A and B are shown apart, each in its own frame.
Chain A
């Protein structure tokens, strides 16, 4: 339990640090949302001053920060000037869509990477391994942006998939089964782009971790005892190779979050990416800060899950933290 407590405190400190850092950046920024308004002759300087006072923009930085933290605790995360609403509700919807995309892509990528990577390691140096290594090397060099645009052109030319958006027009009129089908079709391309871009890295790690374990004496002994190859690979070797892979799982979520930012904009998926881009162009600072903070929360959450899995999978960590 101590282990988790320590992890939680670390995560909270990290989030605090990130929020201070982004807040400092935002304070250094030249210009703000109201600069545009100042150019508008219909808005008097008194109105502007009162608006600035309303949003506490005329206060010194520490007070602004304290005010913002209190709004975070209320779940509002500050105020969006462009949308004229609290940031929180604005972000939740978008974050749900982003999570839907990244979690599906993460699961898909791992579901593919594990068996294929194990197969590759089991045939180390022979043709399946060589062919797979060649294929991963090819995909490794195609960046998300290029991949996403390529898939989009493919979709436009074949008309097999809808291009862009979350649901089709007239979504409300569809039956539940068709609604599901519609969402899945819309998700297919962005998920494919994300999964394909993270797959080669995962594959290489799975292969390396498994290859290292497969040479271990205890596995040769187990093989000598006549344990079937399938059991050997998936039960014995995978467990021994699991540690670095579980840590990687946490990291892969972070990489996918970054990747999904681009993919969402390219495929006009209504996630955090397009919202953040809009907010940057409109100088809507609290939306930007909220978006960055939320992405960090996801990442910390992913690492937390990875830590818990690690705790379950590896008895050494349990005894180590108990001994402390």
Chain B
């Protein structure tokens, strides 16, 4: 089956974005945990082609920032020493996708000559650019796994309710009404409130996935139930049942395939929402803890007033989610358009508020 061009366009864009995050080790110059205590809260490094004497250089270069005594003054570059950028150079060792050991980086500077901080550094002198890309791995993985858990729950509950009907339907749908009735962030908070607080980073990550994943099952469950309800009365399903097909066969062969479209659209809507949920939890200190980087806990620095006032580049992690939002929302509306082309588009987040 050939993909419609609009769908393909969004899929490619999302693929590129995710590729950059998955291969974070290659695209970033440093290890996300590496500290440079001499250069805390460095503003973003400027990349130059023309030096202070007006000479043009083919190879892009940058200057170090002079250490400031008074942080209210604008930072000064040390223009006496030109530090050239090296492309495809060897640097810090890392594991590509977690298992391929490599030390090749897209760009970095010669060791010992000064470090490049594209998006500035944080309180420990860690490179924000590296932390944002590596943090994306955690945040996006939470979104993907959370959406997977939610859809698995939603699909099984919705199918049970729709296919078997009776008291199961009544009970499950009342429960779904409860979950839909609660404002989702309050629900997220309540769930998180009753789970352990002091846990290891990995446990915290899994906890966030579980919490985020259990919050949103009700809406997909209701959608799936509707589809299953109408699908099980279709003529070809009745015919198959008449030939003696078992429940599992009917569900697997005829009914569940009908739900694929809705599941895909829901996934495209839920993933960015869940990434945002991770950001919110971690921002509030209830999610993935330091020293791991995630988009949420990178932003947590902004809760200090001094950071907010003086170091605007600490806000940049907030913007990382925006291109992913564009991609997923575009994908969701392309999927919806694909499913029913004549409806006036309302906006895909509209039905999830």
Q: Which residues of A are in contact with B by a Cβ distance under 8 Å?
A: 14, 17-18, 21-22, 25-26, 28-31, 136, 140-143, 145-146, 149-150, 152-153, 156-157, 163, 198, 200-201, 204-205, 208, 211-212, 251-252, 254-255, 257-259, 261-262, 265-266, 276-277, 279-281, 283, 285, 288-289, 291-292, 295-296, 299-300
State which of A146, A251, A283, A285 has its C-beta within 8 Å of the C-beta of B319: A146
- In chain B, positions 155-196 with a C-beta closer than 8 Å to chain A are 174, 177-178, 181-187, 189-196
Q: B182 touching A18 by the CB < 8 A rule?
A: yes
Question: In the assembled complex, how far is the CB of residue B218 from the closest CB belonging to chain A, in whole angstroms?
Answer: 12
Q: A300 touching B349 by the CB < 8 A rule?
A: no
Q: A300 touching B194 by the CB < 8 A rule?
A: no
Q: A25 touching B191 by the CB < 8 A rule?
A: yes
Tell me whether B283 is interfacial, beta carbon within 8 Å: yes
Tell me whether B329 is interfacial, beta carbon within 8 Å: yes
Residues of B within 8 A of A146 (CB): 318-319, 321-322
Separation of A152 and B305 alpha carbons in the complex (Å) = 10
Question: In the assembled complex, how far is the CB of residue B80 from the closest CB belonging to chain A, in whole angstroms?
Answer: 32
Tell me whether B309 is interfacial, beta carbon within 8 Å: yes
Interface size in chain B (residues, C-beta < 8 A): 48
Q: A212 touching B178 by the CB < 8 A rule?
A: no
State which of A14, A25, A204, A280 has its C-beta within 8 Å of the C-beta of B350: A204
Q: A143 touching B181 by the CB < 8 A rule?
A: no
Tell me whether B353 is interfacial, beta carbon within 8 Å: yes
Residues of B within 8 A of A14 (CB): 177-178, 181
Q: A29 touching B193 by the CB < 8 A rule?
A: yes
Residues of A within 8 A of B322 (CB): 141-142, 146
State which of B279, B286, B347 has its C-beta within 8 Å of the C-beta of A205: B347
Q: B315 touching A149 by the CB < 8 A rule?
A: yes
Separation of A28 and B184 alpha carbons in the complex (Å) = 20
Residue of B183, B191, B193, B280 with most chain A CB atoms under a 10 A cut-off: B193
Question: In the assembled complex, how far is the CB of residue A64 from the closest CB belonging to chain B, in whole angstroms?
Answer: 14
State which of B174, B182, B312, B321 has its C-beta within 8 Å of the C-beta of A153: B312
Residues of B within 8 A of A156 (CB): 308-309
The 7 closest A-B pairs by CB, nearest first: A29-B194, A258-B185, A204-B347, A255-B353, A280-B193, A141-B325, A146-B318
Q: 14 more A-B contacts (CB under 8 A) besides A149-B315, A277-B284?
A: A17-B178, A18-B181, A22-B190, A25-B190, A142-B325, A145-B280, A157-B312, A163-B308, A254-B183, A259-B185, A262-B280, A285-B193, A288-B194, A295-B186
Question: In the assembled complex, how far is the CB of residue B50 from the closest CB belonging to chain A, in whole angstroms?
Answer: 29
Residues of A within 8 A of B73 (CB): none
Contact of A262 with B185 at beta-carbon distance under 8 Å, contacts A205-B346, A255-B353, A285-B193 already known: yes
Separation of A141 and B197 alpha carbons in the complex (Å) = 31
Question: In the assembled complex, how far is the CB of residue A77 from the closest CB belonging to chain B, in whole angstroms?
Answer: 15
Separation of A155 and B318 alpha carbons in the complex (Å) = 17
Separation of A145 and B191 alpha carbons in the complex (Å) = 20
- In chain B, positions 193-208 with a C-beta closer than 8 Å to chain A are 193-197
Residues of B within 8 A of A21 (CB): 178
Q: Which residues of B are in contact with A by a Cβ distance under 8 Å?
A: 174, 177-178, 181-187, 189-197, 276, 279-280, 283-286, 299, 302-303, 305, 308-309, 312, 315, 318-319, 321-322, 325-326, 329, 344-347, 349-350, 353
Separation of A295 and B286 alpha carbons in the complex (Å) = 20
Question: In the assembled complex, how far is the CB of residue B312 from the closest CB belonging to chain A, in whole angstroms?
Answer: 6
Majority-rule SS of B interface residues: helix
Question: In the assembled complex, how far is the CB of residue B160 from the closest CB belonging to chain A, in whole angstroms?
Answer: 19
State which of B195, B305, B345 has its C-beta within 8 Å of the C-beta of A208: B345
Residues of B within 8 A of A258 (CB): 183-186
Residue of A at shortest CB range from B187?
A: A292
Separation of A31 and B198 alpha carbons in the complex (Å) = 11
Residues of A within 8 A of B321 (CB): 143, 146
Separation of A173 and B210 alpha carbons in the complex (Å) = 50
Q: B192 touching A257 by the CB < 8 A rule?
A: no
Separation of A139 and B286 alpha carbons in the complex (Å) = 27
Residues of B within 8 A of A281 (CB): 197, 285-286
Q: A295 touching B183 by the CB < 8 A rule?
A: yes
State which of A152, A208, A265 has its C-beta within 8 Å of the C-beta of B308: A152
State which of B187, B195, B350 has its C-beta within 8 Å of the C-beta of A201: B350
Q: B190 touching A292 by the CB < 8 A rule?
A: yes
Separation of A105 and B54 alpha carbons in the complex (Å) = 53
Residues of A within 8 A of B302 (CB): 149, 152
Q: B276 touching A143 by the CB < 8 A rule?
A: yes
Residues of A within 8 A of B284 (CB): 265, 277
Contact of A145 with B178 at beta-carbon distance under 8 Å, contacts A212-B344, A299-B183 already known: no
Residue of B at shortest CB range from A255?
A: B353
Residues of B within 8 A of A292 (CB): 182, 186-187, 189-190
Residue of A at shortest CB range from B320?
A: A146
Residues of B within 8 A of A279 (CB): 193
Q: B190 touching A288 by the CB < 8 A rule?
A: yes
State which of A149, A204, A261 has its C-beta within 8 Å of the C-beta of B299: A149
Contact of A145 with B283 at beta-carbon distance under 8 Å, contacts A14-B178, A153-B315, A200-B347 already known: yes
Contact of A296 with B318 at beta-carbon distance under 8 Å, contacts A145-B276, A211-B344 already known: no
Question: In the assembled complex, how far is the CB of residue B186 from the closest CB belonging to chain A, in whole angstroms?
Answer: 5
State which of A201, A255, A280 has its C-beta within 8 Å of the C-beta of B192: A280
Residues of A within 8 A of B192 (CB): 280
